[in-house]
Each structure stands twice: as C-alpha cells, then as structure tokens.
C-alpha cells in the first residue's frame, strides 16, 4: 500500500512547475538538430514554407481578382501544371543523384523564384498557363530532394526523425504565414495581393542563397558499370511500385482536407461553416505538437509499415465519422466533425512517418533521390487527380461514398505492412547423395 501523503510532507520532493511558454520553448529547442548543416537546412525549410504559405493563403484571390481568371480557368491551369510536374519529377530526381542534391535544389529554388516574379506580368489565360506550367515543372521534384537532404544532414542516425523536424518547421511556417496573409486580406485592397507573389519569390530566392552555404556530406556513388535499363530499376521492383501506390492512396488525406472535407461541411451538413477553419487549426496545431513523437521508430522498415497501417485505420475512422454527419443536427455534426479532424490529423502524421521510413529504407544510397522521386509518384498522382475523384465519388455520392473510401483506406493500411516484409528467397534443395 502506498504511504499516505497526509501523514507527513515530503520536503525533498522537487517542485515541478506547470508547463508555461518558456517550458514549451525549451522543449521545442531540444528538437533543433545539433549540426551546422542540419540547422542551416532547417532555416531553409522554414523560409521556403513561409513564403509559400503566404502565397497559398491568397493565391485564389490573386488569380481571380488580379489576373482576372475564372474559377474554371484556375482549376484547368493548375491541373495541367500538376501533370507537367508529375512528368518532370523523376528525371529531376535522377539529375539530383548525378550532380548532387544541393546544386539541383538551388537551381529549383532559383527557377521558382524567377517563375513567380513573372506572375505579376500575366494578364490573360494563355500566359497564366505558361507560367503555371513553369512552376509546376519543378514543384513536385523539390520534395523528394528536400527529403534526401534532410536525411543527409542528420547527425543522430534517424533520417525519419530529421525529416519530422523539417516537417514541424514547415508546418509552423505555414501557420504563421497564413495568419499574416489573413490580416493583409482583411485590411488591404486587392492590388496588394501581388505582394503575396513577390514574397513567395523572395522566399525561394533567400532559401536558394542559404542552400549555397550548405555543405552536404558526399553520398556513396555507384561506380559499377551501368547495365542497360538501369534507370528503370525502381519501376522493375514490383514491391516498390506497389508501396508507392499504397502510400499515394493514404496520401488522400491532403485533398480530403483541402477539398472534400470543406465541401462536405458547407454543402452536406448543418454544422457552422466556421468549422472548416477550426478543423484546419486543429490539424496544424496537432501536426506541430505530435509529428516528432509519432515519427519515432520510423527508420525500421517493419515499424514504418505499421505506421502506415495505423494511418489507414485512422483515416477510415475519419471517413466513418464524416459519413454519420449527413442526417444529424448541427451540434451533433459539429462534435463528430471535430473528432473526425483529430482522426484525419493522426492519419496524416502516421502516413508521413511511415512513408518516409519505407522510402528511406528501400532506396539505395547511391540512387536515393531518384528512388524517392519514384516513390513520391503515388502521392503526386493522388494530389493531381484526388480533388476531382473525391468530389464525384465521395462528396456527391453521400455517406455511401465515405463508407467506400473508408474501406479502401483501411484495406490499404492493412496491406502495406505485408509489402514491407523482406521477400523470401527460395532455397535450392541439396542434391541427393549417390548410393
């Protein structure tokens, strides 16, 4: 039986103050990587995301009120830009392995800075298509290189942990820049929306210049003679391609959060419209607080597969919660949707941690960025096609659409750990002994 604390005080027990802002700051500082290269790259990631976050918060207003495009023209242009990026991502990943992640990422940042500086000169749909495709050509190629560089700058042995810290920095920058952009949108005239574009270009330029100071450790290079068709090696690995596909399906949380969920809340439930902003806030806060914790152990391939299983089940729970909100009152729908937002965020964090672990674990060091680019194809494809598919096959269908999506996500999560198991090698039976 434990001693009663009413009999005698415990003077030697240290006083534990309640967590305050300073405690949270110290906790956040403890996650800052120790190495110079890692810290420099963390700053690069923050600056890059800050500029991009400001632009994304006001991009729709810039396209429609400054350039004068219709919603249909914006959607078509950005979809075509996404397809261009889908085609260009893998070749750029191959170039990063050949010439180095750092130089190629610097080139991409400067390319994007120049493209966004051209945006204020656009005054019709044709020019918008050209500039949007120039941006899209390198948009999806940057993230695999960022992932590769994050792993290369890790000095503590956990590449997934290093990527988690980078993700937290990027999410924090997105949140802060969104608040700044909201203030500008509230008080400024539409002419000021051009500033969003210029700030984004400046962010790319500054991050590119910071990358010039980054001295990455040289990765091992495969000096063996290249066999014919070596560039297709990751595509010949059926397991790797299937894991890219399953990761892409689980990555559906992105278009769900940005498109399907808001449309469902506004058009199919009695919940207040402001709930969309609340859900986004919950998503951002939980991502910053839990990303590092939920990413622990992700460097192990088996545990990475387990995290993707948890992601599939959490996302399936989200879909089922949303499906229940169609025919209930506004208060009940609000509670269910808030719970769903938490489940969606947990699924997002487990998916990202598992995806990083799987892609790092299966990518050979000499061709790491190329393999990461191939692995990213699943997520890129879902990002490009996901909004239209989710609207037509889920939102417009109703609760049955959400239930079907839940089944797909749960099945994908359960299958992924099976694919991460190492393949069994057949053993050749020993020849029978001669009589």
Q: Residue 180 has what pLDDT? A: 86
The model's confidence at residue 292, banded by pLDDT at 50, 70 and 90, is: very high
What is the 8-class DSSP label of residue 124?
A: S
Residue 112's domain comprises: 35-215
Q: What is the mean pLDDT of residues 377-392?
A: 91
The string of pLDDT tens digits covering residues 219-239 is 555 544 444 455 667 888 899
Q: Residue 272 has what pLDDT? A: 92
Question: Does residue 68 lie in a domain region?
Answer: yes
Do residue 291 and residue 406 come from a single domain?
yes
The DSSP element (H or E) to which 333 belongs, if any, is: helix 330-362
Q: What is the mean pLDDT of the chain?
A: 86
Do residue 169 and residue 57 come from a single domain?
yes
Question: Does residue 133 lie in a domain region?
Answer: yes
Q: What is the mean pLDDT of residues 249-269?
A: 93
Q: For residue 23, is pLDDT > 70?
A: no
Do residue 55 and residue 189 come from a single domain?
yes
Which CATH number covers residue 184?
1.20.1250.20
The string of pLDDT tens digits covering residues 322-334 is 999 998 999 999 9
> At which of 153, 180, 215 does a domain end?
215
Question: Does residue 286 lie in a domain region?
Answer: yes
Q: For residue 28, is pLDDT > 90?
A: no
Do residue 79 and residue 181 come from a single domain?
yes
Query: Which among 245, 355, 340 has a CA at the least distance from the CA of 309?
Result: 355
Q: Residue 223 has what pLDDT? A: 44
More confident call, 5 vs 208? 208
Q: Could you write out the DSSP letters of every residue in 234-251?
A: HHH-HHHHHHHHHHHHHT
Q: What is the mean pLDDT of residues 427-433?
A: 47
Residues 196 and 26: beta-carbon distance below 8 Å: no
Do residue 72 and residue 113 come from a single domain?
yes
Q: For residue 32, is pLDDT > 80?
A: no
The winner for highest mean pLDDT among 26-40, 46-60, 146-160, 196-210 is 196-210
- Picking from 17-26, 139-148, 198-207, 291-300, which range would have the lowest pLDDT averaged per residue? 17-26
Environment class of residue 64 by beta-carbon count within 10 Å: exposed (0-12), middle (13-18) or buried (19+)?
A: middle
Q: What is the mean pLDDT of residues 239-246?
A: 95
Question: Does residue 296 lie in a domain region?
Answer: yes
Give the Cα separation of 48 and 206 in Å (integer): 8
The winner for highest mean pLDDT among 31-40, 51-60, 111-120, 180-189 is 111-120
Question: Does residue 341 lie in a domain region?
Answer: yes
More confident call, 429 vs 114? 114
The model's confidence at residue 1, banded by pLDDT at 50, 70 and 90, is: very low
Q: What is the mean pLDDT of residues 199-209?
A: 95
Do residue 270 and residue 200 come from a single domain?
no
Do residue 51 and residue 167 come from a single domain?
yes
Q: For residue 88, is pLDDT > 60?
A: yes
What is the 8-class DSSP label of residue 424?
A: P
Q: Residue 14 has what pLDDT? A: 47
Q: For residue 282, is pLDDT > 60?
A: yes
Exposure letters 138-167 (e unless 16+ CB within 10 A, then b): bbbbbebbbbbbbbbbbeeebbbbbbbbbb
Q: Residue 421 has what pLDDT? A: 84
The count of other CB atoms within 10 Å of the CB of residue 404 is 15
How many structural domains compose the chain?
A: 2
19: CB partners within 8 A, 6+ apart = none
Give the Cα separation of 284 and 188 in Å (integer): 25
How far does the chain reach from its first CA to its final CA, in angstroms? 74
The string of pLDDT tens digits covering residues 315-367 is 999 999 999 999 899 999 999 999 999 999 999 999 999 999 999 999 998 89
Q: For residue 21, is pLDDT > 50?
A: no
Q: Residue 56 has what pLDDT? A: 86
């Amino acid at each position: 039986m434990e001693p009663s604390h009413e009999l005698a005080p415990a003077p030697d027990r240290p006083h534990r103050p309640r967590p305050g802002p300073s405690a949270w700051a110290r906790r956040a500082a403890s996650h800052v990587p120790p190495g110079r290269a890692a810290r420099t790259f963390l700053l690069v990631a923050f600056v890059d995301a800050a500029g991009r976050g400001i632009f994304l918060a006001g991009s729709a207003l810039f396209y429609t009120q400054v350039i004068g495009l219709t919603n249909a023209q914006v959607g078509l242009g950005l979809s075509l830009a996404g397809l261009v990026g889908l085609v260009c991502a893998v070749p750029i990943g191959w170039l990063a392995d050949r010439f180095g992640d750092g130089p190629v990422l610097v080139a991409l940042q400067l390319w994007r800075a120049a493209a966004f500086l051209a945006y204020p000169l656009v005054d019709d749909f044709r020019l918008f298509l050209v500039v949007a495709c120039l941006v899209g050509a390198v948009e999806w190629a940057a993230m695999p290189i960022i992932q590769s560089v994050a792993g290369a700058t890790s000095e503590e042995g956990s590449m997934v942990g290093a990527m988690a810290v980078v993700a937290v920095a990027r999410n924090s920058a997105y949140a802060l820049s969104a608040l700044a952009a909201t203030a500008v949108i509230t008080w400024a005239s539409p002419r000021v929306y051009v500033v969003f574009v210029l700030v984004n270009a400046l962010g790319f330029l500054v991050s590119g210049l910071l990358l010039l100071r980054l001295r990455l450790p040289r990765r091992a290079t495969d000096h063996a003679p290249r066999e014919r068709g070596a560039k297709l090696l990751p595509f010949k690995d059926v397991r790797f391609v299937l894991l890219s596909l399953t990761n892409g399906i689980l990555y559906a949380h992105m278009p769900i959060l940005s498109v399907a969920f808001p449309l469902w809340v506004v058009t199919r439930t009695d919940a207040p419209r402001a709930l969309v902003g609340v859900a986004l806030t919950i998503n951002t806060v939980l991502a910053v607080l839990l990303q590092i914790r939920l990413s622990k152990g992700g460097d192990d391939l088996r545990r990475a597969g387990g995290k993707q299983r948890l992601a599939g089940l959490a996302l399936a729970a989200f879909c089922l919660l949303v499906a229940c909100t169609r025919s209930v009152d506004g208060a009940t729908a609000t509670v269910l949707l808030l719970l769903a937002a938490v489940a969606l965020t947990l699924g997002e964090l487990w998916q990202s941690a598992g995806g990083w672990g799987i892609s790092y674990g299966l990518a050979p060091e000499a061709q790491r960025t190329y393999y990461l680019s191939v692995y990213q194809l699943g997520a890129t494809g879902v990002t490009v096609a996901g909004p239209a598919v989710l609207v037509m096959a889920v939102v417009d269908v109703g609760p049955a659409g959400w239930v079907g999506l839940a089944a797909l996500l749960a099945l994908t999560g359960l299958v992924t750990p099976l694919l991460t198991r190492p393949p069994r090698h057949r053993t050749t039976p020993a020849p029978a002994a001669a009589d």
